Amino acid sequence: MQFLKTNRGRVLAWLVTLLIGGLLVWGTQHDAALYRDPIMRVTQVTTGPSSKETDDFHNTDVQTKQTLHGQILNGQYRGRHLTITNTYSRSGAMDQRYRVGSQLFVVVHDHQDDHLTASAKDLKRDTPLVFMIWLVVGLLLLIMQFSGFMAFLSVAANGVLFLIAILLNGSTQGAQVLWIFGSLAVVFAALTLWLVLGANRQMLITLATTLGGTAVAIVVGLIVFHFTHERGMYYESMQYVTQLPRPLFLAETLLGSLGAVMDESTDIISSLFALKRERPELSAAQVFKSGRQIGSTIMGPLINVLFFIFVADTFPMAMLYLKNGNSWGYTFSMNMSMGVVQSLISGIGIVLAVPLASFLASRFMEKKVRA
Amino acid sequence: MSTITVLGLVLLVLMVLVGGKAGAQSFLALLLNFGLLFLAIVLVAFQFPPLIVTLVVGLLVLALTIFMSSGDDLSSTVAFIASAVVLVVLVLLIVPVEHWALVQGFGPEDSEDLEGLSVLVGVKFVQVTTATAILSTLGAIAEAAMAIAAGLSEILEQHPQVPLRSLLGDGIAVGKQIIGTTFNTLFFGFFGGFLALFIWFTGVHYSVGEILNDKIFVSEILMILFAMVSVILTVPITTWVMTRAVAGQRKRAAKRISADK
């Protein structure tokens, strides 16, 4: 570790990281053998005629045909040359233009006289994905070192737990989604806080605040749902739903707000612990007051973080609705209403965590915080 | 009254009760941000270039979020400049990666939602998806920049003469404190939103290879990774802007002293 603090060590760390990145990118471009579906690399492209299309809403677009020549990289047809046609539009919402060097998954049709034809399925995308993961992990370790590693570890651990929960949900046909993710929220929070803070009183207070804030927010949300009869909420507008939408929506909201509430309670409570360390003479009421002050400056930006995550995602679909002649109101209801409800419930949790954190910290902090 | 109105009112009341005037201001910023986001969508639908709309709206959102939360002048200004720099760097990263991964628009999983909609609308979806990725990270950039700037300005308040070199180290130290929890905010925020999609993947028995190359999956994971990169970059960039600002202040102060003599 000491070596990494010297200039030579630092340069070496950057070089090693760059080298690993290069290897990963090169590796994923040559990993076709790992896939069962046939992959073709495009060696030559001929662009065919374009045609102008106009839909019922006077949107104009240009569709172009291209002929791709290429070679299969894996499986039983490895080395065989193929020619396939592909149509792409200028907007490219559901299609894409392939270029020389692109690798794509194809569906091969084997005819009896050993003659192969194929159609394009989708682009191979693992290289950019691996590149970005490398970039994040590399920057994290180089800039934040040990703390970066812990942050990465907690995200990875939560990712594994998340996967287990999803498999568990699948094996119960989604009937228990709220229970599964509700109890997982507790495990998620406990594990993350333990990794960030270690097992101590501060961690317990933060955990209690996180769980309390999130739970109360969901309950407030349910009460409001009950009295407003969920007017203006369109469960049918949720995407990719394969099970009962209402519990799924609540589970999504629960998970979404958990991280932000945890973030906020950690900030408030660790500042209060630090404050008490510096000025042990402060009374519980004074600690509570400072907690409220710290909390009220960070709650707004935090609600914003979740708001942009929940609502910005609906941009492409909302734009498509507008382009298809729908009104602003209908576009909002069908695309953004659920995200807005989610942001508001999370926001309520984030705000409620401020007094909760301040109260619990002022009440249960040891009289003399050890340094 | 609709559920959204009542939930909004509950949030407003709570924010005012907890934060007083600052709470009301943050709520107003939230409303204005929603207006800006919707405006961006409408402008793109009217054929304005998506990237330019996103940059302008992005800067407005950052300014609103940062200047409408209470904070001292120095840290707000530093946070805004730093987050604007991060936004530009992020655009330089997102544009090529989105063109490389080609995750624009919609995937086969969306076909049910797309029924009856024309997708040949003449807007370049690569740009729309790029805009989406940029917009979804705005909140995280603003939050991280404000946290770092506030932490540094507190250090400056306690030790006004701290040397610039050690201020750089202090910035990274503040960053180390927030990075773990900020990553979790992003992780849970995004995964909360994609829960349905992941359940879909396991329900329909996608193979690992299919998931790792799926258009929607890759596009969503890229969004999380962009947000994480932006938060990591915010730490050194905000620290650097802060040292520039402090260096400028000290130079002016030194000049004033020598002028007084």
What pLDDT, on a 0 to 100 scale, did the predictor assign at position A371? 45
B190-212 mean pLDDT: 89
Q: Which domain holds residue A346?
A: 172-364
Which of A84, A99, A124 marks a domain boundary? A124
Interface pTM, i.e. ipTM: 0.93
**Which of B187, B212, B230, B235 has the highest number of chain A CBs within 10 A, making it the mutation to test binding with A?**
B187
> Which residues of chain A from 1 to 60 reach within 8 Å of chain B, CB to CB?
34-37, 53, 55-57, 59-60
Q: Do B184 and A192 touch (CB under 8 A)?
A: yes
**Would you give per-residue pLDDT tens digits along chain A (371 residues)?**
566 667 888 889 899 999 999 999 999 999 999 999 999 999 999 999 999 989 888 889 999 999 999 999 998 889 999 999 999 999 989 999 999 999 999 998 887 777 788 889 999 999 999 999 999 999 999 998 888 898 899 899 999 999 999 988 888 877 888 999 999 999 989 999 998 888 899 999 999 999 999 999 999 999 999 999 999 999 988 888 888 899 999 999 999 999 999 999 999 999 999 888 888 888 899 999 999 999 988 899 999 999 999 999 899 999 999 999 999 999 999 999 999 999 999 999 999 999 999 999 999 887 655 44
Pair (A116, A230) in one structural domain: no
Pair (A117, A208) in one structural domain: no
What whole-number percentage of chain B has pLDDT above 70?
99
Distance from the Cα of B249 to chain A's closest Cα (Å) equals: 25
Domain ranges within chain B, ordered by starting residue: 19-110+122-260
Work out whether the CA dihedral A210, B197, B111, A96 comes out positive or negative: positive
Distance from the Cα of A258 to chain B's closest Cα (Å) equals: 7
Q: Quick one: closest CA in A to B134, which residue?
A: A312
Nearest to A93 among B125, B183, B184 (CB): B125
Q: Does residue A328 form part of some domain? A: yes
Running DSSP on this structure, what letter comes out for residue A306?
Answer: H
Q: Please give the tally of structural domains in chain A.
A: 2
CB of A107 within 8 Å of a chain B CB? The answer is no
- Taking the CB of residue B248, how many other CB atoms lie within 10 A of it? 10
Interface contacts A/B by beta carbons within 8 Å: 415
To the nearest whole number, what is the mean pLDDT of chain B? 91
Q: Do A92 and B184 touch (CB under 8 A)?
A: no
Pair (A176, A117) in one structural domain: no
CB of A183 within 8 Å of a chain B CB? The answer is no
What whole-number percentage of chain B has pLDDT above 90?
64
Pair (A120, A185) in one structural domain: no
Burial of A71 (0-12, 13-18, 19+ CB in 10 A): middle
Pair (A226, A115) in one structural domain: no
Q: Does residue A207 form part of some domain? A: yes
What pLDDT, on a 0 to 100 scale, did the predictor assign at position B160? 86
What pLDDT, on a 0 to 100 scale, did the predictor assign at position A1? 53
Nearest CA among A318, A306, A301 for reference residue A345: A306
- Which three-class secondary structure state does DSSP give residue A242? coil
What pLDDT, on a 0 to 100 scale, did the predictor assign at position A130? 95
Pair (A195, A329) in one structural domain: yes
Nearest CA among B148, B17, B159, B18 for reference residue B83: B148
CB contact set of A27 (below 8 Å; sequence gap of 6+): none
Q: Quick one: closest CA in B to A98, which residue?
A: B102
Contact A66, A86 (CB under 8 A): yes
Task: Annotate chain B with DSSP letters as a single string.
Answer: --HHHHHHHHHHHHHHHHHTHHHHHHHHHHHHHHHHHHHHHHHHHTT--HHHHHHHHHHHHHHHHHHHS---HHHHHHHHHHHHHHHHHHHHHHHHHHHHHT--S--GGGTTTTTT-----SS-HHHHHHHHHHHHHHHHHHHHHHHHHHHHHHHHHHSTT--HHHHHHHHHHHHHHHHHHHHHHHHHHHHHHHHHHHHHHHHTT--HHHHHH-HHHHHHHHHHHHHHHHHHHHHHHHHHHHHHHHHHHHHHHHHHHHHH-
Work out whether the CA dihedral A166, A167, A173, A178 comes out positive or negative: negative
What pLDDT, on a 0 to 100 scale, did the predictor assign at position A2? 62
Q: Does residue A138 form part of some domain? A: no
In angstroms, how far is the first alpha carbon of chain A from the final one? 25
Q: Does residue A19 form part of some domain? A: no
For the cut 50, the answer to whether the pLDDT of residue B120 exceeds it is yes
Pair (A119, A209) in one structural domain: no
Q: Does residue A15 form part of some domain? A: no
For the cut 90, the answer to whether the pLDDT of residue B116 exceeds it is no
CATH number for the domain harbouring residue A249: 1.20.1640
Q: Does residue A158 form part of some domain? A: no
**Which of A303, A310, A340, A342 has the highest number of chain B CBs within 10 A, making it the mutation to test binding with B?**
A303
